[in-house]
Amino acid sequence: MSARDDFLALQARMGESIVGQARMIERLLLGLLADGHLLVEGLPGLAKTRAIKSLAKHLDARLSRVQFTPDLLPADITGSDIYYSEGGKGEFRFQPGPLFANLILADEVNRSPAKVQSALLEAMEERQVTVGGNTHPLERLFLVMATQNPIEQEGTYPLPEAQMDRFLMHVNVDYPAADAEAEIIRLARAEEEPDTHQGGAGRSETRMSPATVFDARRQIHEIKVSEPVERYIVALVQATRDPARLDDDLKRWIEVGVSPRGSIGLDKVARAIAWLRGRDYVTPEDVQAVVHDVFRHRLILSYDAHAAGVSANAVIDRLVQRVAVA
């Protein structure tokens, strides 16, 4: 099987245990393929934790889950130097924290203070942590999925815009459809069976090797982006910085446009979704398919937009309508 076949099979296996959230599964795989991190926002109970646990189950990778709380310290996630005494001699040894895994679930990341958020985001960007003056590299296969609850604001520390820019994508998770809800009930009922709960009645499944992920990333690097599509990506980004030349409403709604990380991220994710769809080139439709997730957290909306109830999604919809495909 090719690397793409392996990823499609992985996507299908994850879909068996995560019903009604196909888009979230696809975005999680796109983050893995594009070597970026995800900020996932949704109400409790929408299978956000289940999604990354399912990925870890089918991928030969180690998962660490960290519940972010107001009393969390940076050393709780990075690790710290511990003093050991042996044979009359003492020394400090580094004890790795939960960041030294392949898949990191940062649950309710906005519940921790700024220092902890900064430590996590530095690890995401630099792929290393520094403790006691010593630098410790993280795993080569390293993906952070941070979650946020959109309805609870008490006792939270919202991520600053400059730090949110470090996430490749901001994924919104919605309620499943009615037919999917019924299937979720049946799935939960089936998992009450002891054999099923313990891992599928003894069924053994082959786990995807990290080498397959790296092979897929090499293939995605070779995906062609034509000059017209490249101009289209740039035009979308530039439109967020100078919206007045496109639309008066966009001028009133957008306060700060998308950073260069946004254009780089849009190019990477568009190539990843083109590869996942079986093509060796990117189309404007690929760009449009992922632009909301790449731009959503990078746009800073004005007071007028918030007062009028205009969401980032609505602003991006208008951008896509107004920017001509090259």
Specify the CATH class of 222-322 in words.
Answer: mainly alpha
Residues forming CATH 3.40.50.300 domain(s) in the chain: 3-70+99-195
CATH 1.10.8.80 residue spans of the chain: 222-322
What is the rounded distance in angstroms from the CA atom of residue 10 to the CA atom of residue 35?
17
pLDDT higher than threshold 50 for residue 205 = yes
Q: Give the span between the Cα atoms of 313 and 317, in whole angstroms.
A: 6
Residue 203: per-residue pLDDT: 52
What pTM did the predictor assign?
A: 0.91
Of residues 44 and 227, more confidence is placed in 227
- The percentage of the chain sitting over the pLDDT mark of 90, rounded to a whole number, equals 71
User: Given pLDDT bands bounded at 50, 70 and 90, which one contains residue 199?
Assistant: very low
pLDDT for 26 equals 96
Instruction: Find the helix or strand (DSSP H, E) in which 292 lies.
Output: helix 284-295
Are the C-beta atoms of residues 70 and 179 closer than 8 Å to each other? no
Rounded-to-integer distance, Cα 298 and Cα 233, Å: 15
Return d(Cα 37, Cα 24) in angstroms, integer.
13
d(CA 204, CA 42) in angstroms, rounded, equals 32
Chain centroid offset of residue 186 CA: 28
| pLDDT range class, residue 63, cuts 50, 70, 90 | very high
Q: Tell me the pLDDT of the chain averaged across its residues.
A: 91
pLDDT band, residue 313 (cuts 50/70/90): very high
Is 99's pLDDT higher than 60? yes
Q: Is the pLDDT of residue 304 over 60?
A: yes
Residue among 244, 260, 262, 261 at smallest CA distance from 302: 244
Coil, strand or helix: which one is 222? Answer: coil
Q: What is the CATH number of domain 3-70+99-195?
A: 3.40.50.300
